[in-house]
């Protein structure tokens, strides 16, 4: 581990780093440990949900564990359980360090964390019982979002007191991002809570509101925290200045403005201007990617981040790469014909996984790797640092698998959704209309369908007459060629990327287990000095060896 050097520009810390670490110790450790627990939960729900793609009957008789519930639970556990806890913990630590002040009012943080975790638990239980909102990406039940908002307010109170406790000549860019994330969370979840649950807007209007809230939560809330970590740690560990504050500022404001607008599907049942606005925003998103990517590339010029010896740098380098790839995917949505192919496939979910695990979890785990030992005491290291490397490797492999399978194989699925599968020259059908007993020749299937829809076709039996061969037979309407709205070929192509992605989910699960294990190990060894479980155990063994306590 390298030295404690605060290289962030001209900030001259008033309080000593050790004092700050001590002030942050319990609140931030509490947040990080909860994050580790929720990460295991999220990954487990992901694996179970993904398993259903292979075995649809798996756990099917348990209403709490349907595919829909597991998907929602996996995302809520990740977003609020892991990302919320880890993100808030890191926010507190970075803000204290950048402000050079000890954490203000740590009691509020502890109370907030308890509330926050109660909220996430309530959300998980609620979703299992079927209380999710119906907005994919923001399934938080009504009551849970209230608790989360209050919990976050407690933690944000402490963070903002710390933030305003001292004035520096210069604010480091990470501070902007963190303040934005603290403000954005109540704004976004409050909007969703108010407009989707408390006084819901009318049916169709829920679609853009839900999209905005779900997208903002990922792009702005998670994006700001993750980028703050990347922008803070990369220059800090490399002991360099950030290349340009102007680039950072440009990327920051653009991200805030565009983050909620991007990625609306081109086929969404909405007025055209909204889709165009979203495409326009997706197009402009390339500037965010360039601003942030170029800035950090110039900062880390000549240093291979992924090949670095420093594990934190590896984590953050991968996180940056994943963020850029997902940003490029967002940019690709500027092209409606590209979006039309991928909009109803697994690709969007795969990119969300890349963002969540490849970018955000990587950034958080890298930061936690750096921060946690320092919180507990000076000159400490992880008890088994080597195994922490495996977290990095497993998440990296999993993310690569999911993105490659998700986008590559979904391409085929999207292509077949956009191909005309029905033979263009259908046979001639004559349909028996039961009311009058007449034979009627609508010639085309849609006509038969509309007859049926109008209730004029009383019988489900249809007489088919193929004029070319003269064959006449009686078939049921659902057997008619072209009637099959879900041909087996599309079904297979839809499932393939998800089946492969299962492997990625398993890797994520393993890495989350390792992370939890490492946390437990670190805390057990070092948490309370002489009273930690590990030293107590050692004392116990020692006395046992001496023939003492039996």
Partner 1 sequence: MNKAPWIFMGVLFTLSLSWWGMVYGPATQLGGETPNKGDGTALKPRVGLARQGEQVYRENGCYYCHTRTATGGKFGYELQLTQLGDDRVLTVEAIGKDRMSGVINQAFVIKAHKAVADAQATLKAEMDKPAAAEKNLKTEQDNLKAAEEKLKTEKNKAEDKDPKAIEAAQKSVAALQKAVADLQKSIADAPQAIAAAKKAADDAETHLAATQKFVKSNGLSEADHLTALGISGVTDTNLFSILKLPAELNDTQKELVANAKVAITEGEEQWSEIEVLVRLLKNKAGAQFKLQPVASDWPDMQNGVALRQSVSRDFLFDAHAMPGVMRIGPDLSNVGGRLMDDNAAYAHIYNPQSTGKSSHMPPYRYLFYRKEIVKGDALPSAAITVINNGEAQSVESGYAVIPTAKAKALLAFLKSLRTDSALPEAPLVKQAQSK
Q: Binding to partner 1 (CB under 8 A): which residues in 136-155?
A: 136
> Which range touches partner 1 (CB under 8 A), out of 23-31, 144-152, 481-489, 515-523?
481-489
Binding of partner 1 by 468 (CB under 8 A):
no
Give yes or no for a contact between 142 and 76, defined as CB atoms under 8 angstroms apart. no
* DSSP letter for each residue of 477-514: GGGSTT--SS-HHHHHHHHHHHHHHHHHHHHHHHHHHH
Binding of partner 1 by 135 (CB under 8 A):
yes
Among 233, 261, 315, 357, binds partner 1 (CB under 8 A): 261
Binding of partner 1 by 260 (CB under 8 A):
yes
> Which range touches partner 1 (CB under 8 A), out of 112-120, 415-423, 510-518, 534-542?
415-423
Q: Report the nearest approach of partner 1 to the CB of residue 253 (Å).
A: 6
Binding of partner 1 by 241 (CB under 8 A):
no
> Which range touches partner 1 (CB under 8 A), out of 25-33, 108-116, 134-142, 301-309?
134-142
Q: Report the nearest approach of partner 1 to the CB of residue 374 (Å).
A: 25
Cβ-based nearer residue to partner 1, 184 or 516: 184
Q: Report the nearest approach of partner 1 to the CB of residue 498 (Å).
A: 7
Q: Residue 50: which of 395, 349, 394 has the closest Cα?
A: 349
Cβ-based nearer residue to partner 1, 220 or 394: 220
Among 488, 531, 545, 549, binds partner 1 (CB under 8 A): 488
Q: Residue 345: which of 273, 406, 430 has the closest Cα?
A: 406
Q: Which of residues 352-411 bind partner 1 (CB under 8 A)?
A: none
Among 12, 485, 545, 549, binds partner 1 (CB under 8 A): 485
Give yes or no for a contact between 76 and 127, defined as CB atoms under 8 angstroms apart. yes
Q: Which of residues 266-325 bind partner 1 (CB under 8 A)?
A: 266-271, 274, 277-278
Q: Which residue has the tokens 């913990």?
A: 89
Among 157, 287, 294, 344, binds partner 1 (CB under 8 A): 344
Residue 14: other Cβ atoms inside 10 A: 14
Q: Residue 142: which of 94, 107, 192 has the closest Cα?
A: 192
DSSP annotation of 345 reads S
Cβ-based nearer residue to partner 1, 296 or 376: 296
CA distance 61 to 34: 31
* Sheet of 429-433, strand order: 438-440, 429-433, 461-466, 471-476
Cβ-based nearer residue to partner 1, 122 or 237: 122
**Measured in whole angstroms, how far is the alpha carbon of residue 436 from the centre of its chain?**
59
Among 1, 118, 125, 245, binds partner 1 (CB under 8 A): 245
Cβ-based nearer residue to partner 1, 22 or 475: 475
CA distance 364 to 88: 10
Binding of partner 1 by 210 (CB under 8 A):
yes
Among 101, 218, 477, 523, binds partner 1 (CB under 8 A): 477
Residues near partner 1 (CB under 8 A), total: 117
Binding of partner 1 by 244 (CB under 8 A):
no
Binding of partner 1 by 212 (CB under 8 A):
yes
Binding of partner 1 by 171 (CB under 8 A):
yes
> Which range touches partner 1 (CB under 8 A), out of 31-39, 236-244, 286-294, 343-351?
343-351
Among 71, 117, 326, 332, binds partner 1 (CB under 8 A): 71
Q: Report the nearest approach of partner 1 to the CB of residue 90 (Å).
A: 18
CA distance 322 to 146: 32
**Kind and range of the H or E run holding 203:** none
β-pairing, 429-433 with 438-440?
antiparallel
Cβ-based nearer residue to partner 1, 420 or 549: 420
Q: Report the nearest approach of partner 1 to the CB of residue 220 (Å).
A: 8
CA distance 262 to 215: 7
CA distance 412 to 494: 8
Cβ-based nearer residue to partner 1, 137 or 321: 137
b (16+ CB within 10 A) / e for 379-388: eeebbeeeeb
CA distance 190 to 104: 25
Among 118, 150, 249, 510, binds partner 1 (CB under 8 A): 249
CA distance 505 to 397: 10
Query: 494: Cβ–Cβ under 8 A, 6 or more apart, which residues?
Result: 345, 346, 413
Residue 69: other Cβ atoms inside 10 A: 22
Cβ-based nearer residue to partner 1, 209 or 291: 209
Binding of partner 1 by 426 (CB under 8 A):
yes
Length of the chain: 550
Among 113, 175, 279, 512, binds partner 1 (CB under 8 A): 175
Q: Report the nearest approach of partner 1 to the CB of residue 309 (Å).
A: 34
DSSP annotation of 195 reads I
Binding of partner 1 by 345 (CB under 8 A):
yes
């Amino acid at each position: 581990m390298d030295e404690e050097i605060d290289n962030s520009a001209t900030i001259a810390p008033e309080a000593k780093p050790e004092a700050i670490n001590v002030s942050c110790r319990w609140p931030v450790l509490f947040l990080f440990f909860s994050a580790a627990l929720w990460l295991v939960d999220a990954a487990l729900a992901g694996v179970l949900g993904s398993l259903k793609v292979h075995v649809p009957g798996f756990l099917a008789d348990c209403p709490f564990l349907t595919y829909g519930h597991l998907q929602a639970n996996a995302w809520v556990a990740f977003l609020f359980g892991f990302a919320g806890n880890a993100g808030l913990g890191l926010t507190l630590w970075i803000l204290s360090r950048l402000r050079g002040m000890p954490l203000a009012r740590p009691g509020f943080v502890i109370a907030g964390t308890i509330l926050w975790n109660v909220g996430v638990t309530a959300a998980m239980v609620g979703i299992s019982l079927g209380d999710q909102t119906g907005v994919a990406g923001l399934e938080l039940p009504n009551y849970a979002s209230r608790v989360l908002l209050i919990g976050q307010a407690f933690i944000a109170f402490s963070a903002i007191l710390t933030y305003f406790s001292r004035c520096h000549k210069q604010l480091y860019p990470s501070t902007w991002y963190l303040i934005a994330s603290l403000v954005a969370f109540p704004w976004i979840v409050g909007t969703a809570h108010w407009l989707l649950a408390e006084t819901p807007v009318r049916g169709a209007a829920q679609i853009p509101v839900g999209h905005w809230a779900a997208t903002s939560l990922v792009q702005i809330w998670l994006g700001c925290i993750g980028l703050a970590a990347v922008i803070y740690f990369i220059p800090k560990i490399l002991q360099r200045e950030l290349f340009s504050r102007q680039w950072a500022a440009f990327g920051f404001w653009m991200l805030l403005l565009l983050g909620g607008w991007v990625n609306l599907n081109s086929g969404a049942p909405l007025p055209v201007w909204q889709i165009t606005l979203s495409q326009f925003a997706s197009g402009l998103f390339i500037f965010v990617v360039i601003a942030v990517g170029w800035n950090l590339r110039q900062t880390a010029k000549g240093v291979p981040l992924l090949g670095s010896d420093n594990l934190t740098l590896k984590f953050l380098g991968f996180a940056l790469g994943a963020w850029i790839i997902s940003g490029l995917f967002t940019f690709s949505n500027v092209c409606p014909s590209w979006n039309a192919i991928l909009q109803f496939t697994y690709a969007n979910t795969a990119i969300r996984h890349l963002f969540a695990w490849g970018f955000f979890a990587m950034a958080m785990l890298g930061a936690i790797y750096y921060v946690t030992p320092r919180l507990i005491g000076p000159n400490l290291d992880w008890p088994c640092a080597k195994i922490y490397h495996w977290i990095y490797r497993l998440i990296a492999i999993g993310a690569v698998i999911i993105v490659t399978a998700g986008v590559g194989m979904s391409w085929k699925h999207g292509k077949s959704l956009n191909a005309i599968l029905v033979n263009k020259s259908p046979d001639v059908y004559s349909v028996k209309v039961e009311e009058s007993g007449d034979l009627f020749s609508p010639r085309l299937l849609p006509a038969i369908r509309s007859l049926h829809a109008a209730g004029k076709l009383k019988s489900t039996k249809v007489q088919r007459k193929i004029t070319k061969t003269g064959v006449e037979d009686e078939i049921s309407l659902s057997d008619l060629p072209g009637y099959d709205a879900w041909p087996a070929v599309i079904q297979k192509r839809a499932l393939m990327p998800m089946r492969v992605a299962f492997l990625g989910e398993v890797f994520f699960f393993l890495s989350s287990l390792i992370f939890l294990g490492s946390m437990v190990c670190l805390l057990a060894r070092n948490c309370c000095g002489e009273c930690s479980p590990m030293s107590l155990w050692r004392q116990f063994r020692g006395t046992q060896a001496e023939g003492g306590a039996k």
